[in-house]
């Protein structure tokens, strides 16, 4: 019997389908330490496609002794795979730290262990640590942020599986490049790069009044929590939607853009395009404001779909998103006009054979029913947003693996908590010599970025443009805007970027 270990929202990544890294060739990497990454991506890809499932295999794709031991012991535990991932995600996002001395390894030992791992690889590391050095597994796990109590909660076999996964993930994690540290380094990268990948999240639209998801008091999910919805992400769960779409329709209006304005950060991405430097903008946003900003369709991947279109869950009829906006704004479930017309036509021709009814749920999901006594109901329209439980668009995988990872020379990640896979996993699949820059309000620990520029992204991109010698023109960028850039203590490559107050004490452009 498996013991479900709860992982609270903030400490959990959500997964759409995973990146198929068998298609990725990381030969672009000039870091020899990462040659194992390349090997792991060439064939030894486990079904889930997660890096943690890849690496316990030896370079030729066969299991080593240490690996086999871990696998054999866990043969009966396949059903818990996503639970293991949740636990590993939680330890990565919120690593366990000892409260009293001696509870786990101290921080020096932890970093020594992690550096040994980088040198010898996961298999030898696990073998040496567990067998030769005889470190108890629950102590070893603390070096990677695993709570030692998990050992008892999960039992030895399942704990070993989690330990194997986290060690492997740690090994394949991107490592910071030492040569990029300051905001001026980033400005120089902007000037010199030719093929930039920009990964964006909800933070680039908050200045327009569209909430992000996970900010503590203002995020969409925290508002849902306040309203007593304990699992707010379920609003975007396809099974929940099919069962009862009313919850989604009662809440989605908050996420609808007015589609009249885009933010300075959208404008910055457009500027990169105008300068011939934008290779691809992978956006997790569903507001479709990239289109308004003029980002070319062929440079844009809407990883989680968008409100631009909507599809009937019953008959597959497609309409423009704007057609369902009145229903979304009125908080009522939008019904398919084509289904309605079909039903009306059938009613007008009573002798005709009734259409096959497909209503597995009270609200018209996809399964079939031949029950002729059912009263036909029009299908429910679903905006073309990728819900949890649905595949990301094909072009996401194709473009990322076939083209972008091979050719980009800079990655900018802007306004996202990077908590939703597979987007959150993209940085670990890009050759490690490609500089990675993070721009958002809060720092990120679970991905090793080269430089983190923390603050409102509109201000950060304004300052980057200024330092790059470019002008970011946008109605929300006030004339004479000045920002300060201050080092974050203890970090040589993290910077706080803030608007300077005007002489009257007010901050430009803010109410």
- Are 382 and 245 in contact by the 8 Å Cβ rule? The answer is yes
304 versus 436: smaller Cβ distance to ligand OAD: 304
Catalytic residue among 161, 266, 304, 432: 304
d(CA 176, CA 452): 11
416 lies in the binding site for ligand OAD (CB under 6 A): yes
Is residue 386 a contact point for ligand OAD (CB under 6 A)? yes
Question: Residue 189 or residue 423: which is nearer to ligand OAD going by CB?
Answer: 423
- The shares of helix, strand and coil residues in the chain, as percent rounded to the nearest 5, are 45, 15, 45
Tell me how far apart the alpha carbons of residues 270 and 264 are, in angstroms, rounded to a whole number: 9
Query: What x/- string results for residues 134 through 163 when contact with ligand OAD is judged by CB under 6 A?
Result: ------------------------------
- Identify the residue among 7, 170, 181, 456 touching ligand OAD (CB under 6 A): 456
Q: Which of 13, 161, 214, 382 binds ligand OAD (CB under 6 A)?
A: 214
Q: Which of 340, 441, 467, 498 binds ligand OAD (CB under 6 A)?
A: 441
Closest CB to ligand OAD among residues 155, 389: 389
> Is residue 309 at the binding interface for ligand OAD, with CB under 6 A as the rule?
no
Q: Which is nearer to ligand OAD, 144 or 248 (CB)?
A: 248
126 binds ligand OAD (CB under 6 A): no
231-270 burial: b if 16+ Cβ within 10 Å, else e: ebbbbbbbebbbeebebbbebbeebbbebebbbbbbbbbb
CB 386 to ligand OAD: min, Å: 6
Collapse the DSSP code of 487 into the 3-class scheme (helix H, G, I; strand E, B; otherwise coil) and give the result: strand
Binder of ligand OAD out of 93, 166, 385, 453 (CB under 6 A): 385
Choose the stretch contacting ligand OAD; rule: CB under 6 A; options: 159-167, 243-251, 396-404, 438-446.
438-446
Helices then strands, counting H and E runs in the chain, come out as 20, 13
Contact set for ligand OAD, span 264-293 (CB under 6 A): 284, 286
Q: Is 273 helix (H, G, I), strand (E, B) or coil?
A: helix
Q: Is there binding between residue 212 and ligand OAD (CB under 6 A)?
A: yes
Tell me the C-alpha distance between 296 and 287, whole Å. Answer: 16
**Closest distance between ligand OAD and the C-beta of residue 482, in Å?**
18
| Residue number with CB closer to ligand OAD (25 or 395) | 395
User: What are all long-range contacts of 81-86, with beta carbons under 8 Å and residues at least 24 apart?
Assistant: 81/48, 81/53, 82/15, 82/48, 83/2, 83/4, 83/5, 84/52, 84/158, 84/161, 84/162, 84/165, 85/13, 85/15, 85/48, 85/50, 85/52, 85/165, 86/5, 86/7, 86/12, 86/13
304 in catalytic set: yes
| CB distance 139 to 110 below 8 Å | no
The conformation of residue 115, written as its DSSP 8-state character, comes to H
Q: How many residues bind ligand OAD (CB under 6 A)?
A: 27
How many beta carbons lie within 10 A of that of residue 341, not counting itself?
Answer: 12
> Phi/psi of residue 336, each to 5°?
-75, 125
Comparing CB distances to ligand OAD, the nearer of 433 and 510 is 510
Choose between 144 and 388: whose C-beta lies nearer to ligand OAD. 388
Residues 178-207 as x/- pattern, contact with ligand OAD by CB under 6 A: -----------------------xxx--xx
Stretch near ligand OAD under the rule CB under 6 A, chosen from 116-124, 210-218, 245-253, 290-298: 210-218
Q: Report whether 8 contacts 87 (CB < 8 A).
A: no
CA–CA distance from 269 to each of 182, 200, 293, 295 (Å)? 21, 10, 8, 8
Dihedral-angle region of residue 297 (phi above 0 means left; psi in -120 to 50 means alpha; beta otherwise): alpha
Q: Minimum distance from CB of 418 to ligand OAD (Å)?
A: 6
CB of 313 to ligand OAD, least distance (A): 16
For position 242 contacting ligand OAD by CB under 6 A, the verdict is: no
Positions marked active-site: 304
Which residues are near ligand OAD by CB under 6 A? 201-203, 206-207, 212-215, 219, 233, 236, 284, 286, 304, 385-386, 415-417, 419-420, 440-442, 456-457
């Amino acid at each position: 019997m498996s013991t479900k270990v709860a992982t609270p929202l903030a400490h959990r990544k959500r997964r759409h389908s995973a990146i198929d890294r068998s298609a990725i060739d990381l030969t672009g990497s000039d870091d020899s330490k990462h040659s194992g990454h390349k090997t792991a991506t060439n064939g030894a890809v486990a079904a889930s496609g997660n890096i943690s499932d890849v690496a316990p295999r030896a370079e030729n794709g066969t299991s080593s002794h240490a690996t086999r031991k871990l696998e054999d012991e866990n043969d009966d535990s396949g059903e818990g795979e996503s639970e293991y991932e949740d636990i590993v995600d939680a330890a990565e996002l919120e690593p366990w730290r000892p409260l009293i001395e001696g509870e786990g390894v101290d921080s020096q030992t932890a970093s020594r262990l992690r550096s040994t791992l980088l040198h010898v690889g996961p298999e030898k590391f696990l073998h040496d640590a567990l067998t030769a050095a005889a470190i108890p597994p629950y102590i070893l796990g603390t070096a990677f942020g695993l709570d030692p109590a998990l050992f008892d909660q999960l039992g030895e076999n399942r704990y070993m599986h989690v330990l194997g996964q986290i060690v492997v993930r740690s090994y394949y994690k991107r490592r910071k490049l030492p040569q990029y540290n300051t905001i001026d380094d980033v400005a120089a990268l902007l000037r010199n790069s030719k093929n930039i990948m920009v990964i964006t999240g909800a933070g680039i639209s908050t200045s327009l009044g569209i909430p992000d998801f996970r900010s503590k008091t203002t995020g969409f999910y925290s508002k849902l929590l306040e309203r007593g919805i304990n699992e707010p992400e379920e609003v975007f769960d396809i099974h929940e939607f099919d069962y009862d779409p009313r919850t989604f329709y009662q809440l989605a209006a908050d996420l609808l853009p007015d589609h009249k304005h885009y933010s300075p950060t959208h404008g910055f991405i457009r500027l990169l395009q105008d300068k011939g430097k934008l290779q691809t903008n992978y956006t997790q946003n569903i507001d479709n404001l990239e289109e308004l900003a003029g980002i070319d369709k062929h440079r844009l991947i809407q990883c989680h779909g968008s409100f631009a279109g909507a599809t009937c869950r019953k008959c597959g009829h497609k309409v423009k998103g704007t057609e369902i906006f009145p229903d979304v704004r009125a908080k009522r479930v939008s019904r398919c006009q084509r289904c309605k017309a079909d039903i009306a036509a059938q009613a007008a021709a009573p002798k005709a054979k009734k259409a096959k009814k497909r209503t597995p749920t009270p609200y018209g999901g996809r399964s079939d029913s031949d029950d002729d006594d059912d009263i036909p109901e029009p299908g429910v329209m679903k905006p073309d947003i990728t819900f949890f439980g649905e595949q990301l668009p094909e072009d996401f995988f194709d473009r990322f693996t076939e083209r972008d990872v091979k050719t980009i020379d800079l990655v900018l990640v802007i306004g996202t908590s990077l908590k939703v896979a597979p987007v959150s996993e993209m940085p670990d699949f890009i050759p490690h010599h490609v500089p990675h820059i993070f721009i958002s309000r809060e720092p990120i620990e679970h991905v090793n970025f080269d430089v983190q520029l923390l603050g409102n992204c509109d201000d950060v991109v304004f300052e980057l443009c200024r330092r790059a010698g470019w002008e970011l023109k946008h109605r929300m960028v006030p004339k004479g805007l000045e920002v300060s850039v201050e080092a974050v203590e203890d970090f040589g490559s993290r910077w706080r970027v803030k608007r300077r107050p005007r002489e009257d004490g007010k901050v430009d452009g803010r109410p």
